[in-house]
Amino acid sequence: MLQLNGSLDLELFTLKVKLQINKNETVSLLGPNGSGKSTLLRLICGLEKLTTGSLRINKNIVDSENTFLHSRFRNVGWVPQNQMLFDHLTVKQNIEFSPNSSKKEVSELIELFDLEHVQDKKAGNCSGGESQRVAITRAIASKPQLLLLDEPSTGLDEKSKQTIHRYLKTQKRVATLLITHDPLEAASLSERLIILEKGEITQSGTPDEVRNSPATPYSASLVGLNFVPALADGLVAMTSKGVELILSESIQGQVNIVIPPKSIALYREKPIGSPRNVLKAKILEINHVGENVRINLDGQLNFMAEITKNAFEVLNLHKGDEVWAAFKATELITAPA
């Protein structure tokens, strides 16, 4: 178990977090570049020291105002992005390097991570996928109380990804904190997601909770939703840019409005008819995703629409075109901020 409640003050950055990860739980940490994700991992494994607060691993204080336990005494398995293998040692020698490892478990892990054919190969001669599997296997073989993985799937071949994902989905031995930029990977591997922005946790919850009620524009972007803060007065909400949005239910005060991209229809001419929100916008970017097309729009609001390929072809849309975007009030998800 990991319990952290404290802050770290760096020259140009402050990390202030409160989190808990339970034994056997896999938690994914997501956030924009520069939000403090890797710094948080360095703090947990003992490469940075808290400025205030405390850090506990299995209820033992390892970092506080009066305590600082060196990395080698924390029993934390850390796999950084650069892997840090011993290139002059073989794959097997790397995996059995920790005094906590056992020959039986090393053999089982080599088989589990499909490394039998390279176990006598020097680690420095391994491919990227092999190196990542070796690094994770070595960390697990040390029998850590906490496993920290920094972007473990980035740039890997599909076979290596599947091997790593299979372990993370089924392991029940250790608390695991995983950094990833891939929301699909995070949702499929983790019981809980933690969103870190500008050094602070802005949301924590199950994948479904984050998907259904994103707390910030970044959280909404992870699950492919549009997020609009506004001030509501009954059935009308006003954004900071002065855009009025019609709501389906009366509400007062600051609200967060989520607009599903698939609820937005695009038109060449301003539509008329049933009451709806209608905004003029310019096409910034067009991306084909499966049977649909995602279109980034800018104008009164900056948002994304997702339409069918058939609708896209009928409208004959191009980057730079001006269009009208319409969405019904009943399609909006509105919650107090």
Q: Which of 8-17, 267-276, 311-320 has the highest mean pLDDT?
A: 311-320
Position 25: which residue type?
Answer: E
Model confidence at 227, pLDDT cuts 50, 70, 90, reads very high
For residue 77, which of 178, 204, 158 has the smallest C-alpha distance? Answer: 178
Judgement on whether residues 25 and 90 belong to the same structural domain of the protein: yes
Token digits of residue 189: 């591997």
Please tell me the distance from the alpha carbon of residue 285 to that of residue 101, in angstroms, as a whole number. 51
Judgement on whether residues 328 and 287 belong to the same structural domain of the protein: yes
Pairing of strands 192-197, 26-30: parallel
Token digits of residue 314: 């009928």
With 80 as the cut, is the pLDDT of residue 155 above it? no
Q: Would you state the pLDDT for residue 148?
A: 95
Last residue of a domain, one of 222, 242, 267: 222
- What does the pLDDT look like over 94-149, one tens digit per residue? 999 998 899 999 999 999 999 999 999 999 999 988 999 999 999 999 999 999 99
Please tell me the distance from the alpha carbon of residue 298 to that of residue 279, in angstroms, as a whole number. 10
Judgement on whether residues 215 and 267 belong to the same structural domain of the protein: no
Last residue of a domain, one of 222, 240, 268: 222
Q: Would you state the pLDDT for residue 310?
A: 95
Please tell me the distance from the alpha carbon of residue 239 to that of residue 102, in angstroms, as a whole number. 60
Q: Would you state the pLDDT for residue 157?
A: 82
Judgement on whether residues 239 and 323 belong to the same structural domain of the protein: yes
Judgement on whether residues 146 and 286 belong to the same structural domain of the protein: no
Least confident range of 14-28, 154-168, 296-310, 317-331: 154-168
Q: Would you state the pLDDT for residue 171?
A: 79
Judgement on whether residues 114 and 89 belong to the same structural domain of the protein: yes
pLDDT over 70 for what percent of the chain? 99
111, 114, 120, 126 alpha-carbon torsion, rounded to 10°: -150
Q: How many structural domains are present in the chain?
A: 2
Domain CATH number, residue 150: 3.40.50.300
Please state the length of the chain: 337
Please tell me the distance from the alpha carbon of residue 44 to that of residue 77, in angstroms, as a whole number. 10
- What does the pLDDT look like over 166-211, one tens digit per residue? 888 887 778 999 999 888 899 988 999 999 999 999 999 999 999 8
Model confidence at 35, pLDDT cuts 50, 70, 90, reads very high
Segment 260-283 shows an average pLDDT of 90
Q: Would you state the pLDDT for residue 30?
A: 96
With 70 as the cut, is the pLDDT of residue 274 above it? no
Judgement on whether residues 311 and 330 belong to the same structural domain of the protein: yes
Judgement on whether residues 190 and 237 belong to the same structural domain of the protein: no
Judgement on whether residues 252 and 179 belong to the same structural domain of the protein: no
Judgement on whether residues 181 and 305 belong to the same structural domain of the protein: no
Average pLDDT in the chain: 92
Domain that holds residue 102: 2-222
Judgement on whether residues 37 and 171 belong to the same structural domain of the protein: yes
**SS3 state at 293:** strand
- Cβ count near 99 (within 10 Å): 6
Judgement on whether residues 193 and 232 belong to the same structural domain of the protein: no
Q: Would you state the pLDDT for residue 122?
A: 95
| Residue located via tokens 């409160």 | 18
Query: For the packed helices 103-112 and 128-141, what is the interaxial angle rounded to 10 degrees?
Result: 150
With 90 as the cut, is the pLDDT of residue 10 above it? no
Q: Would you state the pLDDT for residue 113?
A: 92
Segment 17-28 shows an average pLDDT of 92
Please tell me the distance from the alpha carbon of residue 136 to that of residue 327, in angstroms, as a whole number. 47
What pTM did the predictor assign?
A: 0.82
Domain CATH number, residue 244: 2.40.50.100
Last residue of a domain, one of 178, 195, 222: 222
**SS3 state at 33:** coil
Q: How many helices (H) and strands (E) does the chain have?
A: 9, 18
